[in-house]
Structure 1
Amino acid sequence: MTTRTERTEEIATHATLQAFGNSYLREIDMIEWFIPTDDENVWFGETACRIDVGTVYVLEIRRRSRIGRHEIGRIYRQTSCGWTEEAPLTFIIACCQHLQRLAPGVTDLLYRVLDSHRCMCHVIAHELNEPFYPETFLEYEQTVRFGHWFHPTPKSRVGMHDWEQVAYAPEFRNGFQLDYFAVNESLLTEASATDQRISEQMRKQLGSAVALSASERLLPAHPLQAQHLLLQPTVQQLLATNQLRHLGRLGPTYFATSSIRTVLQADRSHMLKFSIPVQVTNSRRVNKRHELTAGLVMRRLAEHISFPDGFSITHDPAYATVQTGADESGFEVIYREAQDDAINVAALVQEPLDQEPSVLASLVLKSKRADQSLSEAARDWFETYIELTLGTLVELYEDYGIALEAHQQNSLIRFEQGRPVSYQFRDNQGYYLARSNKNQLIHLEAALAEAPELFYDETTIKERLTYYMIWNHLSGLIHRFDRDGLLAESTMLEWVGTWCDQKSQILSGRGKDWLEYVRSRPTLPYKANLLTRLHALDELEVSGERVIFIEIDNPLHREVRHANDERTTCLQTTS
């Protein structure tokens, strides 16, 4: 009988293999797809992939996917006596060591992969011990157990100890108080697009629990942020001269959302987004100076825009920080509006534990009318979802030149009777405004003239829209429908392609150009998370946040070949 510990390890190892293995198959060109012979079929199944990392491995591919999320089965290692089955982690370690030899001295890829696996074990053990069935916005934020589905290190959190994970990571569902600082008003920089500033709101929140002088203002900090800041010489100097006072843990309880660093007040009145000294997947999670302004400006711009029906933005309308002479002092905090009950797409489409139905499958079943078959309900649900999400993005880009980084975690869907009825977007790091429409947008909101970093050329916008909406968001949805047996991948791809063609016929601008871009190119740009992690690139520190992009086969190409005719090696074009 399998023990709970063995089951935890089994689930985490399977998830790690799918995440890392699929990243490798998409991004690395030293692979070979083949159809096993009748004799080999006993070992490798009907489709397989050969990988040479000094040692030759063959991966059994139980299901080959046009969107690049293959189902990897058993792994075999070539020996002098033939083929022997290999443990997944041993294979992953061999691949990491091979890649690290290509980038000596700059990478910690193997450490990040193993750290991600260990974190998954920690999270899954907790969930198996305390089964949890989410219903609210916060509860769904607390159940993204497998992380970024197209990333080789989806749960890597370098900078957090185990006890800190339990205290502050969303999956453990523990609330905590914030730290607070009393800041001399001459050092505080804050702004708001509303009539409320963060320091004022925090003062009202704490009331008589804190005493401030007439020249002091109140600033909140995440406990991990405060712990880091108190060790910085600049901060220690400000403390020594009484320009800054650390007040310790105070006030109401907050809960971490899926990003870890954005926390929700227990009364659900607001959220706060902090800088924390933790690297999650590719980046150290900090609020950059230009992002503070972006939230305010986009909040003001939104007042002049007619959004598509069913769409809204969860805004970041205020910020505060301490000025220390550096671009970012580490005190940066962003105020985020309250969030309706909605489900982030990462939770919607993730793999369920054991034999439980996925969140998506449960919603589709709930939406089914008495006069519908399950496949009819699934098709109706899928079509509604595409119009609500992809339709919204195309319309915003067409009408205003505004593109959104609509990946799974930034996208939240509200449901009624199981059907998707509204789409909400969050994240002030996720706006791309077309330079070709700069004058028109500034005419709508003059403050945009002070935020040049929000504007991008059309080539970059098409690249980002394609990766975040097609590869990250829609591919995740398509994969889940297919895995749950609701709709076939090929059927959904055909339908999305037809939708793009029909939508393109009624457009004439940027939206039409992007849809034609998606439908006409044999390959599409894809953010290479494995190569980015291999080269230790922090995308928030790279100019224009542009890391490594590659070109991979386009599943929506009008003349796309069937699976059996696909190329046998991965095309890799880095830039």
Structure 2
Amino acid sequence: MRCPSYVNESYVISRASTAPHRDTDITIETTPHTTFGWANLSHLDSSIVVPQAINQRLLRRHLNGQRKGDCGADMTNTDRTVLSNMVSELATTRALLNCLIKEFALPEECLHYTWPEGMQGIAPGSFVDGGQWKGIPLTISLPNQQQFFVLVDRRDHLGSHRYLSDVYARQGQGTWRCLAFAEFARQLLTACEHMTRASNDELLDQVLQSQHLTAAIVAHNMTGQHPAPLSGYLASEQGLWFGHPNHPAPKARLWPEHLAQETYAPEFQAQTALHLFEVPLEGLRITSNGLSEAEVMAGFADQSRARPGHALICMHPVQAQLFMQDRRVQRLLELGDISDLGASGLLASPTASMRTWYIEGHDYFIKGSLNVRITNCVRKNAWYELESTLIIDELFQRLQQTRPETLGGLSTVAEPGSMSWAPKGVSEADGHWFREQTGAILRENFCRRSGADCSVMAGTLFARDLRSRPLVHDFLQRFNGAELEDQHLLDWFDEYQALLLSPVMALFFNHGIVMEPHLQNAVLIHDNGRPQQLLLRDFEGVKLTEELGIKAIQVGLHPRIRQSLLYSREQGWNRITYCLLINNLSEAVLALSWERPHLAPLMWQRVERQLQHIRDELVLPAPELDALIAGQSIACKTNLKVRLAAKADREANYVRLASPWATEARYA
């Protein structure tokens, strides 16, 4: 895997004093060894915890510049390299701790909000500032005698914390140490491997690759030359700089070495023309709902350029390069059966998914295949998903027309057309291969009706900026003008969570439809910052329960398509509760209650009330919802465990976490 690298040297900290003094001098020296520790420089800005190996003057310039909207344009390259590496290590450390806490420490009862036995090695400045405690102690003691210690801002049943101090580690009763990032990651993964009895030799490399790419992303966006992440829709798609907050390697990509990510990755504000091939009309497969074949074809490329009897298909430029490496494709090119027209298609910008393209002013997004492993999945359009997407689109169209009152205010992003191509006369296996390589889906460009300036992807809305602060506060402040009051944050959250919960629950209990409402699949439409509508997208991930949902399909299904759509009721419930409560709402709660942890239990009370309101409106039995309201534990997907086992994402299991309203949680 090739990751753009801005790092040419390592740096080591040199302190004049270890006392927690506000005027302690910190200098940076070059060294061939990386020996980073972590330090809380909260006297510079109470919202950011930074590694020791960073100059205070550099940090002040970074923070002050960002407040003015300048992300560091006046920094030297060395300054930017050091700072971007530190910010990326912080983000990756947070993600690893989140995985450890949610998947291991909480369900295995290895986490305690207590001081560890023995504090040797922990600097007093890490937990006391001017006689005041800096936070709540959190100690994790794992079966292999590995321990971790950090201060947090709250006790949280779902393991969502703001980390306030250095992260310390030790074995047994040894001395606590702040570890170099790579060593911290190694020790954490080793402890998790011991608990799962599974090992993945690639995982540590993936974690480090993810961190390196994150550093390059941070350095690129630190220049202040790019749109703010929540300034508009495309900026929000390209502003998810740190990725999934509960994933061990959110930016790991098995990218072709000869193709620079800066040219194609959303975090670098890439824009490029799609790659075109001319293929015979014979072999073209088009499926649609409410569109003619000509309209579907025009959605992908300007067909006036094609010769008679031919059509133009478009691809991700990287996918096109991979496609042409296959000997079957090379033979077709040599024979002239297909023609390579190069990067001459629509000018498009990649969104956060890497393979879905936004074309300004166009009626559709284009979701194509990308045979690159991103995190843990190869992002191709499987042949059966090209079919099932249109089946789900038709189902939603029908329900909106015939039973809208049963959908809980559902707003979806239509996917009314798909197109793929395979040469005539090939085997079934080869036909499937060609369709998966060439297949693409049209997705409605909702910005044409909702306005790009009024649309933001929820994953970025609740993500962090380059100072490790939630972006949502500056977003709301921009529209509110005055200081945000607690009540304003509570009311805003109330509106957001109602828009999210109602349709997902209504679809599950009324129709047996299982959405995948994680943060990246949700787009908020707002009016001067106030939630107006929440769009749920990506029909590839929609499933149907076997006892209800699958019965609504009115066409005969190929067995493989049926299999891809089918979920048991238990599978469906686990998925939607994880996506709703842990992936989505717990991140919203953490971001909105930043520096105000007392708001979190009030927000969860509103979730509980909304669930009760939904239950009161349901006619059919809803035993799972009854149990959830009563305080039953919540399913949490095991993103780290499935990667330790080197399994596909679809094979991830769940652990159980305590409900945030089952027992009162105390907050700092």
Give the TM-score normalised by structure 1: 0.87
The structure 2 residue matched to 1:257, chosen from 351, 360, 369, is: 351
Partner of 1:345: 458
When residues 165 and 439 of structure 1 are mapped into structure 2, their CA distance, relative to the original with a 3 A threshold, is: closer
Displacement of 1:394:
1.8
Aligned equivalents of 1:221, 1:204: Cα separation in 2: 9
- AA in 1 matched with 2:302: L
State the secondary structure of the residue aligned to 1:277. Answer: strand
Offset, 1:401? 2.4
Q: 1:411 to 1:165 in 2, by over 3 A?
A: same
SS of the residue corresponding to residue 497 of structure 1 reads helix
Letter in 1 for 2:150: E
Deviations 1:38-91 (A, max 9, x none): 974865744132345867443213234222123343233448873333234321
Aligned letter for 1:552?
Answer: L
Q: How does 1:234-253 map to 2 (within 5 A)?
A: 234-253=328-347
Task: Give the secondary structure class of the aligned counterpart of 2:487.
Answer: helix
1:361 aligns with 2:464: no
Partner of 2:413: 314
Residues 278, 285 of structure 1: 8 Å contact kept: yes
Moved more, 382-391 or 187-196: 187-196
Q: Name the structure 1 match of 2:70.
A: none
- Correspondence 1:434 to 2:545: yes
1:343/1:236 Cα in 2 relative to 1: closer, same or farther (>3 Å)? same
Contact 2:514 2:542 in 1 (8 A): yes
Q: CA deviation at 1:470?
A: 1.1
AA at the equivalent of 1:235:
V
Residue type of the partner of 1:206? D
Q: Residue 353 of structure 2 aligns to a residue in which SS?
A: coil
What is the one-letter code of the residue matched to 1:425? L
The one-character-per-residue Cα deviations of 1:119-154 (angstroms, maximum 9, x if unpaired) are 110111011013532422112111011111111111
Tell me the SS of whatever aligns to 2:211: helix
In structure 2, do the counterparts of structure 1 residues 94 and 240 end up closer, same or farther at CA, with 3 Å as the change threshold?
same
Q: Does 1:335 align with 2:335?
A: no
Contact 1:374 1:486 in 2 (8 A): no
Contact 1:466 1:518 survives alignment (8 Å) = no
Establish whether residue 550 from structure 1 lines up as the match of residue 655 from structure 2.
yes
- 1:405-484 map, 5 Å: 405-438=516-549, 441-442=552-553, 445-446=554-555, 451-452=561-562, 453-483=564-594
Residues 556 and 546 from structure 1, CA distance in 2 versus in 1: closer, same or farther, beyond 3 angstroms? farther
Give 2:139's aligned residue: 49
* 2:491 pairs with one of 377, 380, 396: 380
1:18 aligns with 2:94: yes
Residue 537 of structure 1 pairs with residue 640 of structure 2: no
Code of the residue aligned with 2:416 in structure 1: it is: P
Cα distance in structure 2, aligned partners of 1:344 and 1:28: 30
SS in 1 for 2:508: helix
1:286 corresponds to: 380
CA RMSD of aligned residues (A): 3.0
Query: What amino acid sits opposite 1:35 in the alignment?
Result: T
Q: Matches of 2:287 and 2:666 in 1, distance apart? A: 53
User: Which stretch of the first structure deviates more once superposed, 339-348 or 191-200?
Assistant: 191-200
Q: Write out per-residue CA displacement over residues 349-385 of structure 1, whole angstroms, 9 at most, x where no aligned residue.
A: 0012228x74422344456599x97222222211111
Q: Give the SS at the match of 1:36.
A: coil
| Equivalent position amino acid for 1:279 in 2 | R
Q: CA deviation at 1:195?
A: 2.5
Whether the 8 Å contact between 1:363 and 1:419 is mirrored in structure 2 is no
Tell me the distance in 1 between the aligned counterparts of 2:264 and 2:481.
Answer: 41
Tell me the equivalent position of 2:209: 115
**Structure 2 letter corresponding to 1:189:** R
Are the counterparts in 2 of residues 192 and 319 from structure 1 also a CA contact under 8 Å? yes
For each residue in 1:315-343, what CA deviation from the matched residue of structure 2 results, as whole angstroms up to 9, or x when unmatched? 22211222353233322211211122311
Query: What pairs with 1:48-447 in structure 2 (closer than 5 Å)?
Result: 48-52=138-142, 56-63=146-153, 64-72=155-163, 73-78=165-170, 82-99=175-192, 106-131=200-225, 132-133=227-228, 134-161=230-257, 164-197=260-293, 201-202=297-298, 205-206=301-302, 210-212=305-307, 214-306=308-400, 307=404, 308=407, 311-323=410-422, 325-326=428-429, 327-329=432-434, 330-340=437-447, 341=452, 342-354=455-467, 358-365=470-477, 368=480, 374-438=485-549, 441-442=552-553, 445-446=554-555
CA displacement at 1:16 relative to structure 2: 0.4
| Cα distance in 1 between the residues matched to 2:356 and 2:458 | 17
* Number of the residue aligned with 1:36: 115
Structure 2 residue aligned with 1:572: none
Please tell me whether the aligned partners of residues 108 and 534 of structure 1 are also in contact (alpha carbons under 8 angstroms): no
Local SS of the residue matching 2:339: strand
105-114 or 430-439, which deviates more: 430-439
**TM-score for the superposition, normalised by structure 2:** 0.75
TM-superposition CA deviations, 1:290-312 (whole Å, max 9, x none): 21112212222222223457642
Deviation at 1:391, TM superposition (A): 1.6
SS for the counterpart of 2:433 is coil
Contact map agreement 2:490 2:599 (CA 8 A) in 1:
no
Query: How far off is 1:528 after superposition?
Result: 0.2
Residue 81 (structure 2) aligns with? 5
Shift of 1:174: 2.2
**C-alpha contact 2:458 2:522 (8 A) present in aligned 1:** yes
Given that residues 57 and 75 in structure 1 are in contact (C-alpha distance below 8 angstroms), is that contact kept between their aligned partners in structure 2? no
Instruction: Supply the AA of the counterpart residue of 1:532.
Output: V
Distance 1:506 1:313, change over 3 A: closer
Q: Secondary structure of 2:386's match?
A: helix
Partner residue of 2:10? none
Q: Output the CA distance in 2 between the equivalents of 1:473 and 1:266.
A: 28
How far off its partner does 1:562 sit?
A: 3.2
CA offsets, 1:211-254, max 9 Å, x none?
Answer: 42x33222111111111011112222332333322221213311
Answer yes or no: is the 8 Å Cα contact 1:158–1:278 preserved in 2.
yes
For the 8 Å contact 2:550–2:566, the answer to whether it is kept is no
The DSSP-based 3-state class of the residue aligned with 2:380 is coil
State the percentage of identical aligned residues: 23
Runs (5+) with no aligned partner, structure 2:
1-56, 59-78, 128-135
Contact 2:364 2:442 in 1 (8 A): yes
Whichever residue aligns with residue 353 of structure 1, its letter is: L
Note if contact 1:462-1:514 (Cα within 8 Å) is conserved in structure 2: yes
Change (3 A) 1:205 1:230: closer
Give the Cα–Cα distance (whole angstroms) in 1 for the partners of residues 288 and 302 of structure 2. 20
5 Å matches for 1:484-523?
Answer: 485=596, 488-509=599-620, 512-520=622-630, 522-523=632-633
Number of the residue aligned with 1:567: none
Q: Please give the alpha-carbon distance, in whole angstroms, between the structure 1 residues aligned to 2:389 and 2:294.
A: 14
Q: Cα 1:87–1:48, aligned 2, differ >3 Å: closer, same or farther?
A: farther
Residue type of the alignment partner of 1:118:
H
Asked if residue 562 in structure 1 is aligned to residue 658 in structure 2, the reply is no
What secondary structure does 1:158 align onto?
A: coil
Q: Distance in 2 between matches of 1:547 and 1:77?
A: 28
SS of match in other structure, 2:336: coil
Does the CA-based 8 Å contact 2:285-2:419 persist in structure 1?
A: yes
Amino acid at match of 1:534: L
